[in-house]
A = this chain, B = another copy of it.
Amino acid sequence: MDWGLFLTFLTTCGAAAATGAMFQPGEWYAALKKPSWTPPNWLFPVAWTTLYLFMAFAAMRVAQVPDAGQALAFWGLQIAFNTLWTPVFFGLRRMRAAMIVMVGLWLSVALTTVAFFQVDLVAGLLFLPYLAWVTVAGALNFSVLRLNTSYST
């Protein structure tokens, strides 16, 4: 356990998570038509808290391996897209632009997962729930975009 690395990555996740606290779904999101399989609201903060802990711990493990530069570059890419999505969707309410960000997020999480597996098995495994959740989030973004065409910009 390298606490310096872990806390650096966890603080980075905290910056991304701050968007969720500051850009709330509110009445706008509540009023949107959503698919039947939409996860309940309480699950989102629970899932994200778990995933942020997993991704910070995974990055800490990878950062301790020499020559993990590309893997850590992908980690930085996914956390930037992660930080960007919430303000675009809940702040600007631009569901179409958010979908583009979501595609970038999904691809960058997939790239990070593959790169982490090549460096450290545990780190790769810790990224699988994140990849699964972002797949659901992407499907939800897409579905909400299609079901609410009159709102989308």
In this complex, what residue of B is CB-closest to A107? B11
Q: Which of A59, A69, A94 has the most CB of B within 10 A?
A: A69
Q: Chain A: how many interface residues by the 8 Å CB criterion?
A: 41
Binding site for B on A (CB under 8 A): 4-5, 8-9, 11-12, 15-16, 18-19, 22-23, 59, 62-70, 72-77, 79-81, 83-84, 87-88, 91-92, 94, 97, 101, 104
Distance in Å: Cβ of A115 to nearest Cβ of chain B? 10
Copy number of this protein in the oligomer? 2
Q: In the assembled complex, which residues on chain B have CB atoms less than 8 Å from the CB atom of A15?
A: 77, 80-81, 83-84, 101, 104
Q: In the assembled complex, which residues on chain B have CB atoms less than 8 Å from the CB atom of A66?
A: 66-67
